[in-house]
Structure 1
Amino acid sequence: MHAHDPQPMEFGPLGPLQGSTRVPGDKSISHRALMFSALARGRSRIQGLSGGGDVMSTAAAMRAMGATIARAGDGIWEVDGVGTGGLLQPAQALDMGNSGTSTRLLMGLVATHSITATFIGDASLSRRPMNRVIEPLSRTGAEFTASPGGRLPLTVRGICPAAPISHSLKVASAQVKSALLLAGLNTPGVTRVFEPIPTRDHSERMLRHFGVDIQVEERDGGRDIALRGEAELEAREVQVPGDPSSAAFLAAAALIVPGSEVRIEGVSVNPLRAGLFELLQLMGGDIALDNPREVDGEPVADLHVRHSRLRGIQVPAHLVPSMIDEFPIWFVIAAFAEGTSRAGGLGELRVKESDRISAMAAGLAEIGVRAEESPEGLAIEGSGGAAVPGGGTILSQLDHRIAMSFAIAGLHAQRPVRIDDMAPVATSFPAFQSTIEGLAA
């Protein structure tokens, strides 16, 4: 059902990267913009929506549950919502493709509506455990039938009215937090979530933008979030900023390829997402955040990145949650720094689209970089800015970030780096290759 023809590709030096560019709309914000617009009364308009496969999985699911979603002119999407509580019974299984975010957040939505939905996905998504969402959502009264190990295919039987829950997250996770808040929208009373470490707060910011009563208080280094249920979402205009996870690949290329200077316009610099850029500045990276501004409650800036001599670093623990998706590309950047770089506390990377710690360690070895794997992280010996040996074939394991990370490594390698399959890149950054080639022209 999800078989695709692999797209092997080679990446070698293209010379310095120069000029200005934009990246796709932020994936996390795009998912939420579609979901909240679909629950609102009236017509919302979304500008800058990510066109990647993951976000299109969310659009298809919201259509299957009654929302009207259409692409208008000028890259604007129009969504006619069903109102909170108005989701319809989908006629068939909801195909989530490769999108863990779509799956976990929509499980929360379905849990408190009187509908039953079955979630299916590709081979990579079907390996990912869903128990940490199933467990707290079960306390609303919803019922879950999952495949062994809490995996897809998985069926949710929603309940309405549901019971509001108070939940303290054991592991910091924006997806679990968001699933519980989405469940709370159609639940009487107040739903409360405590997170011990602040995680990306796009749901809280955007729910407020749609008129939901949501309160956030700092407590014990974490955050208490309270959402008043049976919320009426009002249709809104939403502008989605550029995706920092996509921008990270272009920033990495500019930092490691001698003579490069790149400007990436309109990128989300939400402090709970922009940890990578802060870390790269600590390593000596020449990265300026120009023209800072706020767009629909989200902080945005233009990134100005120049080739830099980078120093090896131990990643500070407090930055880990705000760059969890960017570690694959950071491992590649570390391969070009002076000395050894280390990161720990990354256990969550073992249950992403692939086991990202093992996949990156194997790939780095393949291109001649010394990396030592530990249960929770990696230590990487850098080249001091020199080109890495390159060569070899990288097994991307259906993981878009692994594929793109090693493509960037190839731009400053002695021999071209071959990626076994670039097809998964379409889930998040369909124009990745043409954007790189455009900057190199």
Structure 2
Amino acid sequence: MSGHGTPIPMTSHASTGLNGTADVPGDKSISHRSLILGAMSVGETRITGLLEGEDVLDTGRAMRAFGAEVTDHGGGEWSVHGVGVGGFAEPENVIDCGNSGTGVRLIMGSMATSPITATFTGDASLNGRPMGRVTDPLALFGTQAVGRKQGRLPMTLVGAADPVPVRYVVPVPSAQVKSAVLLAGLNAPGKTVVIEKEATRDHTERMLAGFGAEITVEETDEGRVITLTGQPELKPQTIIVPRDPSSAAFPVCAAVITPGSDVLVPNIGLNPTRAGLFFTLQDMGADLTFENMREESGEPVADLRARFSPDLKGIEVPAERAASMIDEYPVLSVVASFAEGKTHMPGVKELRVKESDRIDAMAKGLRLNGVTVDEGDDWWTVHGLGHGNVPGGETCASQLDHRIAMSFMVMGMAANAPVSIDDGQPIATSFPIFEPLMAALGARVERT
């Protein structure tokens, strides 16, 4: 929803221990792509475990606007009757993508090579984010974009009537940009090639192959070269959405820093392009174990157990790991506050252009609560105080950012004094059951 309602201040208090099973929502990235590729297929795609947060629901509404039949059967069960590649109808109204940068960029890519026009908007946060990084490569196909100053929403896209395939080198690691170009390439004749110098989450490539597209991935001296043959007939699929590792990050990190905790997160997606946080936590000394390793719908899955880890150590997080955990740095910075010594996080410039400037937002909140933070354009360092030494006690600005809001709620579960946020409403965009799930584990998060 583009309108932002009355703020919901929240306060998180120290817990005596988090215990139990955390059934976190389905993976947001896979949920978006399931709806979009289902809409671009011919026939009925069935989806189990879809994340029913506002971001994904907005994508479902967008697919309906383009002519697909999207049905909610209840309990995370959805179906999509697609219209085929190049079959999108022109929407009658503006497409509202709410808070979702992933949603708007992937949807733009999916319609960019169809001869239709669509106008996109979002909430205050999304309308402040740059879209040039995706509209620039889409222009190579022949797509036209007209938006506000600096390429911001609201924006109108005129799809290419006679698209041409492109060869595009992604300038900075971005799964959103890569995916938008690949989705646009579906309705372009010939071969569209995307080259990324650093690997990013590969759900789009995996799912395109699953839907029957001709796609190859090669590791070369140039980087990771992805070649897609355009104008396929995508075949509908049955998709089981794994649990979202980005959502799992919050109960996992809370368990690691909260005394007496033992939390199991079942069916968590462990795609290697997404699991960087868990390996980083293990490097810091966190007690994490992976149980029942398996594969579902082409994605590696496991049950993850996280226990309280009192002897966490600050580390140098490898820069090459950034793309696999870019959304998890806010909550990692909270864990780093409870570690002994410095945790340095380089190669994270992407955090400056998320739902908020996440480095700035977290640094300000951590400093308010007694933690020293240094920062640069593409790096930051948290000076950990060790278990039992994080003061807390202050109110942080969530900046209309769900991950900032949840990260400070995690901090309050182990700090010496409660930690508050000015607005918890954005949490619903990705983790609508955050409050009851954390309460069931033993957390005390109150709306104030």
TM-score, with normalisation over the residues of structure 2? 0.97
Instruction: Please show how residues 60-75 of structure 1 align to structure 2 within 5 Å.
Output: 60-75=61-76
Give the secondary-structure state (helix, strand or coil) at the position aligned to 1:42. Answer: strand
What residue in structure 2 maps to residue 93 of structure 1? 94
What residue in structure 1 maps to residue 446 of structure 2? none
For residues 74 and 13 of structure 2, the distance between their equivalents in structure 1, rounded to whole angstroms, comes to 37
For residues 140 and 339 of structure 1, the distance between their equivalents in structure 2, rounded to whole angstroms, comes to 49
Q: Is the 8 Å Cα contact of residues 190 and 229 (structure 2) preserved in structure 1?
A: yes
Amino acid of the structure 1 residue aligned with 2:431: F
1:219 corresponds to 2:220 = yes
What residue in structure 2 maps to residue 244 of structure 1? 245
For residues 297 and 346 of structure 2, the distance between their equivalents in structure 1, rounded to whole angstroms, comes to 34
Q: Is the 8 Å Cα contact of residues 22 and 251 (structure 2) preserved in structure 1?
A: no
1:136 corresponds to 2:127 = no
Q: Is the 8 Å Cα contact of residues 15 and 258 (structure 2) preserved in structure 1?
A: no
What residue in structure 2 maps to residue 261 of structure 1? 262
User: Which moves more between the two structures, 207-216 or 69-78?
Assistant: 69-78
Give the secondary-structure state (helix, strand or coil) at the position aligned to 1:14. Answer: coil
Cα distance change on mapping 1:221 and 1:330 into 2, 3 Å: farther
Q: Deviations over 1:261-304 (max 9, x none)?
A: 11000011000000000111111111111111111111111111
What residue in structure 1 maps to residue 203 of structure 2? 202
For residues 419 and 4 of structure 1, the distance between their equivalents in structure 2, rounded to whole angstroms, comes to 16
Q: Is the 8 Å Cα contact of residues 161 and 188 (structure 1) preserved in structure 2?
A: no
For residues 409 and 162 of structure 1, the distance between their equivalents in structure 2, rounded to whole angstroms, comes to 49
1:417 corresponds to 2:415 = no
Q: Which runs of 4+ in 1 moved over 3 A?
A: none
Q: Deviations over 1:38-63 (max 9, x none)?
A: 11111111001001111011001000
Q: Is the 8 Å Cα contact of residues 197 and 221 (structure 1) preserved in structure 2?
A: no
Unaligned stretches of 5+ in structure 1? none
Paired positions, count: 441
Give the secondary-structure state (helix, strand or coil) at the position aligned to 1:313. Answer: coil
Q: Is the 8 Å Cα contact of residues 195 and 222 (structure 2) preserved in structure 1?
A: no
For residues 223 and 295 of structure 2, the distance between their equivalents in structure 1, rounded to whole angstroms, comes to 24
For residues 322 and 59 of structure 2, the distance between their equivalents in structure 1, rounded to whole angstroms, comes to 27
Q: Is the 8 Å Cα contact of residues 24 and 50 (structure 1) preserved in structure 2?
A: yes
What residue in structure 2 maps to residue 344 of structure 1? 346
Q: Deviations over 1:194-220 (max 9, x none)?
A: 100111000000111111111111112
Amino acid of the structure 2 residue aligned with 1:262: V
What residue in structure 2 maps to residue 188 of structure 1? 189
Q: 2:363 aligns with which of 342, 361, 364?
A: 361
Q: Is the 8 Å Cα contact of residues 87 and 113 (structure 1) preserved in structure 2?
A: yes
Q: Is the 8 Å Cα contact of residues 25 and 51 (structure 2) preserved in structure 1?
A: yes
Give the secondary-structure state (helix, strand or coil) at the position aligned to 2:285. Answer: coil
Instruction: Please show how residues 298-317 of structure 1 align to structure 2 within 5 Å.
Output: 298-308=299-309, 309-317=311-319
Q: Deviations over 1:241-264 (max 9, x none)?
A: 000000001110110001101100
Instruction: Please show how residues 264-303 of structure 1 align to structure 2 within 5 Å.
Output: 264-303=265-304
For residues 215 and 9 of structure 2, the distance between their equivalents in structure 1, rounded to whole angstroms, comes to 47
User: Which moves more between the two structures, 322-331 or 337-346?
Assistant: 337-346
For residues 331 and 221 of structure 1, the distance between their equivalents in structure 2, rounded to whole angstroms, comes to 33
For residues 433 and 259 of structure 2, the distance between their equivalents in structure 1, rounded to whole angstroms, comes to 23
1:440 corresponds to 2:442 = yes
For residues 304 and 279 of structure 1, the distance between their equivalents in structure 2, rounded to whole angstroms, comes to 15
Alignment RMSD, CA only? 1.1
Q: 1:408 aligns with which of 407, 410, 415?
A: 410
Cα distance change on mapping 1:183 and 1:147 into 2, 3 Å: same
Q: Is the 8 Å Cα contact of residues 312 and 382 (structure 1) preserved in structure 2?
A: yes
Q: Is the 8 Å Cα contact of residues 310 and 338 (structure 1) preserved in structure 2?
A: yes
User: Which moves more between the two structures, 69-78 or 97-106?
Assistant: 69-78
What residue in structure 1 maps to residue 322 of structure 2? 320
What residue in structure 2 maps to residue 146 of structure 1? 147
Instruction: Please show how residues 9-48 of structure 1 align to structure 2 within 5 Å.
Output: 9-48=10-49
Residue identity over aligned pairs, in percent, reads: 52
Q: Is the 8 Å Cα contact of residues 180 and 193 (structure 1) preserved in structure 2?
A: yes
Residue 161 (structure 1) shift: 3.0
Q: Is the 8 Å Cα contact of residues 255 and 305 (structure 1) preserved in structure 2?
A: yes
For residues 222 and 200 of structure 2, the distance between their equivalents in structure 1, rounded to whole angstroms, comes to 12
Q: Is the 8 Å Cα contact of residues 348 and 379 (structure 2) preserved in structure 1?
A: yes
What residue in structure 1 maps to residue 383 of structure 2? 381
Give the secondary-structure state (helix, strand or coil) at the position aligned to 2:438. Answer: helix
User: Which moves more between the two structures, 74-83 or 29-38?
Assistant: 74-83
Q: Is the 8 Å Cα contact of residues 243 and 267 (structure 1) preserved in structure 2?
A: yes
Q: Is the 8 Å Cα contact of residues 160 and 187 (structure 1) preserved in structure 2?
A: no
Q: Is the 8 Å Cα contact of residues 196 and 220 (structure 1) preserved in structure 2?
A: no
Cα distance change on mapping 1:74 and 1:99 into 2, 3 Å: closer
Unaligned stretches of 5+ in structure 2? 444-448
Residue 160 (structure 1) shift: 3.0
For residues 382 and 427 of structure 2, the distance between their equivalents in structure 1, rounded to whole angstroms, comes to 25
Residue 387 (structure 1) shift: 4.5
Residue 88 (structure 1) shift: 0.3
Amino acid of the structure 2 residue aligned with 1:144: A
Residue 15 (structure 1) shift: 1.4
For residues 421 and 221 of structure 1, the distance between their equivalents in structure 2, rounded to whole angstroms, comes to 44
